[in-house]
Every structure is written in structure tokens, then in C-alpha cells.
A and B are shown apart, each in its own frame.
Chain A
Amino acid sequence: MGIDRRDVIKFIVGGAVGSTLTPIPWKLTDDISIWTQNWPWIPTNIGGKNEYTPTVSKLCPSNSGMLLRTVSGRPVRPQGDPDSPLSGGKISSLAAAEAQMLYSPSRVRRPLRKTSDGTYKAVSWAEAEAILSEKLGNATGGVGVISGDENGSMNEVLSALAAGFGSDDCHFMPGSAQAEAVAYNQLMGGEGQPAYDFEKADYVLAIGADVLESWGPVVATRRAYADMRPHGEDPKSTWVYAGAFQTNTAAGADRFVAMRPGAQVALALGVANLLIKEGASATGLSGFASLAAQYTPEKVAEVAGVSPDALQEIAKGLASAQKPLVVVGAEGNEGGSTAAAIAGIACNMLLGSFKAVPYPRTVVQGAMGRGDMLAKDVASYVAGFKGGKAPEVLITYQANPVYALPGSIKTKEAFENVSFKVCFTTYLSETALASDLILPVPHSLEMVDDVATPYGYGKALYAVARPLVPTLVDAKHPGDFLLGLGAKLGKDLGFASYQKVLEAKARAMGANWADVSRGTVYVSDSQASTYGVRVDADAVAKAAAVVEVADLTLCPVMKLNFGTANCGIPPFNLNTIRGDELDSDYLYAHLNASTAKSKGVAQGDVVRISSAAGTVMAKVNIFEGVMDGVVAIPKNFGHTAFDEFTRGKGDNVSALFAVASEPGTQASVWTGQAVELKRA
């Protein structure tokens, strides 16, 4: 029997038909999928009743208004709250990760006390309280406070307690609000907080202020930006960003104008000069016009590197706008020039767009007002610890000075001069690990707190953050704890609980507690009088005179998705960090090709960047969005504390900040830092 061609074809066809009809391949793929999906644990979805409860973010400096989604009480994630003026239904990259941060591996789970061998031992709250009352009770050498929360009422409890021990050494960590508070409240005779009406602004000039990413209540600002720019239509507003690095704000702006870091004062004076030439005037500016007149476009080009054409165009744009706005801020939102803040306010006065809102009124007896606390210079305070001016007890509250203060201060060493340091913190930060007593603060979704008129917002505002989930760790409300402790030490602050403080605060703001405690945000139209405000032209002239052009200048960059000094880098935000921002363990320093060439370095080279204060190591990323002679380095990397998601990633740019005293204003400044860069 032979096999002919027909048989072969039959066999092949039969085989093909058979293999299509047989279930075997399908069974096999099914089996493979079962076996490849065999894994040790599968979190099963836990369903239940959905609820969306309004609150406000205390984790993100933008103070996003949020709706926390819970499923049967279990927090899932926050979304933007459409009814909140701080959100408009939108959310920041950091607030979007707030619920997950409840379970951050770096949460402090119980009170910890440092032992004589430097390790930490868990103590009960009763023991912690006993230790702290003993230290405070004997604190003849004074009590100091450093707070990392600029707009909460905890500052009242802290400063009132310190006042009970005869101290007014209560400080904020460096931020955008400070230079302006010193400028406006101390040097210009103004009362209240300068306010920025981004809503309906048709021309915004941001001088170094990263208004679309990290400056002020940025989600609200971005809503105002978006509202004036409907899709598919020509934008109804013009946004100009002047800075040394194409930040996120530059990406959203209609125009990016290159300006050297630290040259804000020169550019603001240059703008004022052209506005005055066009006929703008305002009371309180005597002597200012002749100072501004020196900042001709040519002079501004020389000092700030801003092209004369760009300057003319900006001045024209501002002068012809209906609602123009000038916002001055520092690169990285810290260490900015007070003189620049004065010049910025002067520009807004000339444009008729300057306004101020009252600082939230204090309700705790003896508490310091926000303006007074903002006027305190934390950099010189901590630097003074080494010169015998250390307090006996230092309270840090949701602040991380050991990591974040300028390198020249050598904060960790300065802290060694303080005999007792207590750190109130949610996360195990560098400052916690340099403290004698670590007291866990509940997560922002676990405790009642508030946001009163955040800096950068256009109106007085009051919002309450609510405890929406039970506290997961052995933490106590710091307000309740300190009020109780004060009473025991004979320094009764007049409130039985922190909530009572907030109720009083709501009343003082003009808000109804029942409403705000349910998540409604209170907004008021009250404004602070700007009568009698004047510019000290002499002080500005002195400060502006020292703005110099260095061979290489540092531009620190802050982005909310990198997290903050207080919370580290949230695990959920790591994915947003690009491969040209962080390379496993090296940070990227951004230079343009021509600067890199002049330094003899190329893409990917490991370099050592140093200043009078310190050194950081980084890899070079060539990015043409950096100005000539500038190196841009992101903030919030190089942590040595927190968890595996934060620790050991790159270097800390703050190490390079060297504090200087600004001539004319005497304020501490560290922008426009000259640095050196060499191949490592």
C-alpha cells in the first residue's frame, strides 16, 4: 500500500482541521494562564458602601480640597472636591497619594525615646508626657519651636505654650511666605498678608515663582489658569514665567523668559521702571522711581540676563491688561530675597492690583500671630545654637529642619547644643532621628485640623480637615496632648481640646463651625487696609546692588510629585519621577549643552557640585531648558531617613545652600547661589 499525494494532502488537511477543533490548545493556554497566575497571595476586592467625604489636604502644601472615597469606612483614595475653592474638583499629584500615606512604612507608630546608646525605645504616652513635663518644667534656658505647618492653628497652641515659658522663639520652616511677610509687615508698614487674585487675571508675570506647580495653593491657581484658557479657543490670559529653568510653570506659560536665579529684584525693578515711564504711579513710592530708573532694560539684561525685548514686551503686556498680576518668588520656594518681594509689591501697586487680606486672628491667649511668626528668621535662629543661643527644649512640629535647612547651618550639629529635642511628626524623618523624644502625630486623614487663609490665595479662607478614619497607630492629637500638658504644668491655655480651639478660630474667621466642620470651605471678602504702605527704596537699592553674575549659579527645583521634606517621597509618586530626573541612586543635575561644554562634562557624567556650604554628587543631564551658566537640581532627594521608597535616592540640594544676610533688609537669603561643578 503506497501513500500518494492525495493521502498526504488529506492528512495535512485533516490534521489542520483536527487541531482547530480539538480543545487541546485552548485547554493548554487556559492551563498556562492558571499556572502563571498562581501566586502566594491575592488581595481580594473588599466591596461595600461608597462614601465621598469632603476634607482638605494637610499633606500637600497646595492644600487641595478633596473628597475622600471610603468603602465601608475603608479609605480608598481622595479625589478633587468640586465644591472646594481650593480644588474645583481637581487634585495635586501629592494629595492624590494622601490615603496611601496612611500606610507609609515610615509612619511613626508609637512614642519613642532615645536611650543613652543612641537607639530608640518605645515608651507609653504617659511616660512620654512625664518626660516632656519634666524637661519643660525645668526649662529655665528657654523653649523654642520650629513648625512646618504654615497655616494651621497648631501654631497657636505651640507658640502660646512657648509664651508660657517666656519664649517667643517660634519659627516656621523657610517658605514662600516669609520674604514677603518681612517685606510687607516689617519694612513697608503693611498689615496682613499680600493676596493674589489669579481668578480672571488676564496677564500673569511670575518672576521665579513656580505658580503652576509648587507656589501657593497651586490647585486653585491652576483652576484660574485653566478657566481663562478654554479648549480650542485662543487663551484669554497671558502667563509669563521668568526663571532660569523651564519648570512646569514654564511649560504651561505662554512665554518663558530666561532670568538668572536670584535676580528677581533686578527684573522687578526693570518692570517697575518701564511701568513708571508709561505713566503708572502709586502713593508710597517716593524715592522708588529714581531707583527703578536705574534699572534700564540694558542694566536688567546685564544683571538678570533678561533680554531687553522680552522686558519691553512684558511691561507692555502688563500695562495694557485689565487684571495684571506680578508674583515674585524664589527658585525652590525658599531663601528668597526680601528686597525682591518689596519690588514685586511695588509693581502690583503701580498696576493697581496690590491687595492684602487680614492674617487669621489668634484665639489662644498668648499665641503669636502668623505675621510675627513669619518674621522670625529660622536660619539665623538655628545657626545661633552653636554660639550659645540654643534653647533648652526645642519642639519641632511637622518640620524637618535637620534635612531641609541650608547646608551652611549644619543643623544636625547645631541640634547637639540643644539639651532636649522633642519631635512631633507623622513620619520618621531625619529630624525625628536627631531628637530625644519622637511623638507620633496622626495622619492628616485621622485628625481634626485646619487651613486658614493659605499664602498665595486671593481671599481670606477657612477650611477644616476632618478625622475620617480611625488612627492606625498609637498616635495622639498633638493639640490635645499639648493643651493637657500645659494645664498640668500650670500654663493653662484656656481650651479643653484642640477642636474647641478650631471652633473659636472658625468664629474668629467669621465662619460657621457646623458648616466648616462638615467640609464646607468658608471664603470671605474681607481685605486688609493697604493705607500708608510705602517702599523703603534705600533698602531695596542696597540689596539690588549686590546681585552678581557668577560663573555657575544654582537653581533648585521643587515639584509636588517629589514629595516634601516632612513626608519623604510617597510610594505612589515614585512612578512620576522621570528617568532623566533620577537614575536609581543618582540624581540628575540639569545643564544646557553649552554650559556642559564649558565645564568639560557630557550627558551621564558623574559630577561633584560644591558651594561654600557643601557638596552634592549628581549625574549630568543635558537639557536645553536651562539658562546658560546655571545648574538646576531638584529638591527632596538624598534623604537618609524615612523608608526604602525615599531613602538613598540621590543627594540633597540643600547641602549647597549658604545663608547670607541681605544688605538693606538684613534678611537671610540663599538664592542665586554660586557653585562649582567638576567631573567626579
Chain B
Amino acid sequence: MASKKEFDIVWGMVIDLDKCTGCGACMVACQAENNVPVTKDATNKLRSLTWLLVYELSNGKPFPDHDVAYLPRPCQQCGNPACVPVCPATVTKKDEEGGIVSQVYPRCFGCRYCMASCPYHVRYFNWFDPVWPEGMEKTLSPDVSVRPRGVVEKCTFCHHRWMHAKDKARVEGRDPYALEQMEYQTACTEACPNGAIHFGDLKNPEHTVHELSKSKYAFRLLERLGMDPQIYYLSRREWVRRLGDNYLDDEKTGDFKVVGGHGHG
């Protein structure tokens, strides 16, 4: 693995899957916050753009032993992102304090190598120019640029909100790199009525995500790939944790060595 960049701040999420009920409020808030266009046939998930997608999980057992869970999936902001080294145009990088994997739209020429390499399918390609019903473009947020046809996009942890929070701290004469947890929150975290999503600096002991990410119920998706995601999930249910890593039926949870190490803590 290429040399891994270390950061003093590592923005991350801890999503409690026992609390998520799959309502989709986070998805709608994300879409409105980030100027993601609408599609008429949005059930065609190959064509629709969903920076944050809520998956339905099943324990695979027949009724009445069936259990259901929902898993919101943003970009995992990997510590060892697969998307970065494959990008020929240096659109996507992991080099800024905070560890958010960037996506610089004007540089992207749409080769989609990053989409092929991302194991979490978080990246979306604009097959068409984005369209909003007439007039609806007036509701576009000034914080986020609109992406044209031919460009790949993905969740940015509402990067613009971090910039605003830093600016505010600067204006107030505070250290922009010592933000309180609530000063910078993503739109999905803010929206979730169940408080299922926690967001903060995984390295900062004063941010709740720091402790939560170390919970015995915490896990990450496809951890064995060694991507070192900055998104943690929590579940008291073992079947949910096992699904996070696609275990074989007879394999025990935790029977593996983490490759790539933890980029925080």
C-alpha cells in the first residue's frame, strides 16, 4: 500500500444501525444540501445519484425469525482510498487536513477509474446534464457547485460546512483547527430524527465519535480490504456486524487481522 498520510484531525462518522429506521431524511437533506439533481426514474439506481444511500439489510432468516436493519452509506473517506491512486487527473486526493477525500469537479474528465476502484460504490457519474423541474434550480445552495455531464461526484462530508466553520472560528479569533463537535456537522447528521449519525473528529477525545468508534459494537465495512474507512457503524446485533464484512456463514466475527491499521486513536 502506498505511504499513508497521517492527519491531526480525522473527520469521521459513527452510525448507529440499531437506531436507524431507514426513513431517508438524511438522503433528502444531503441531496438538497449538495445540489444533487433529481431523476424521474430514481428507482433505477444505476442512473440516479445518491451521495448517501440507505441500504436495507436482512439477517437472511425466514419469517418469523427475520430481522431488518438499515445502513446509510456515504463515502467512507478511506484512510487508504482506492480511488486516489487510479485518478489520472488528480481530481481526487487525500491530502488535506481532516482526511476528507477530495473531488475537484472541474478537473474530472469522466474516465470513471475511481468508480471502478471504489469497493463501496459511493461514486456516481453524471450521464446527463443535471436538470431540475423549471424554477427548482432557484433553490440551489450557493455553497456547492453544480456538476455537469461527464463528471464523477461523491459525498464530501459537506466540506463547505467545514470551510464555513473554520472561517467563523478565524473571524472570532479562535483556532480553526480546534472546533467543537457541533460547530461542524454534516447535513445528514443534522437531519436524522433518531440521532443515528454522529459526526466529529475521530482523533479528538472531546468529540463523541472518538469513544464511540472504539465501542465493542463498532465495525467498518469490508474492513479486511484495508481501506481504513473513516465511517464506523455500531450494532448490538452480531448479524449486522457480520454483514459489514461479508463473512462466510461459518466464519466467526473478528477472526481476521486488520490490514492497514487505524488512522486515528
Contacts and interface: CB of A to CB of B under 8 A. Distances in A.
Interface string A628-669: 100000000000000111000000000000000000000000
Interface stretch (B115-123, B129-137, B170-178, B222-230): B129-137
Interface residues of A, number: 88
A93 B25 contact: yes
A29 B88 contact: yes
B169 interface: no
A79 B190 contact: yes
24 contacts: A33-B89, A33-B106, A33-B108, A38-B148, A45-B140, A77-B29, A79-B187, A79-B190, A90-B190, A90-B195, A91-B191, A96-B32, A96-B191, A102-B139, A212-B21, A222-B21, A223-B195, A231-B212, A307-B64, A573-B24, A574-B43, A575-B38, A576-B27, A624-B61
A385 to B, nearest CB: 35
Given A103-B134, A625-B66, A645 B142 contact: no
Interface residues on B, range: 35 or more
A105 to B, nearest CB: 5
Given A79-B29, A574-B42, 11 more contacts: A47-B142, A89-B190, A96-B32, A100-B139, A231-B198, A231-B208, A232-B217, A251-B70, A571-B38, A571-B132, A577-B42
A578 B56 CA distance: 9
A626 B66 CA distance: 9
Contact of B140 (A36, A43, A256): A43
Interface string B13-31: 0101011111111011101
Interface string B39-73: 11111110011100010101001111011111000
A219 B190 CA distance: 13
A593 interface: yes
A231 B16 contact: yes
Contacts of B66: 246, 592, 624-625
Interface centre among A45, A46, A47 (most CB of B within 10 A): A45
Contacts of A358: none
B137 to A, nearest CB: 5
Given A100-B139, A573-B28, A580 B56 contact: yes
A218 interface: yes
Interface centre among A96, A231, A628 (most CB of B within 10 A): A231
Contact of A80 (B32, B134, B191): B191
Nearest to A41: B129
Interface in A53-78: 71, 74-77
B191 to A, nearest CB: 5
A45 B194 CA distance: 32
Contacts of A88: 193
Interface stretch (A196-204, A409-417, A543-551, A581-589): A581-589
Contact of A219 (B67, B134, B193): B193
A94 B25 CA distance: 7
Contacts of B190: 79-80, 89-90
B123 to A, nearest CB: 16
Nearest to B42: A574
B140 A76 contact: yes
Contact of A251 (B20, B50, B187, B212): B20
Interface string B59-97: 001111011111000000000000000001100000000
Interface string A183-218: 000000000000000000000000000001100001
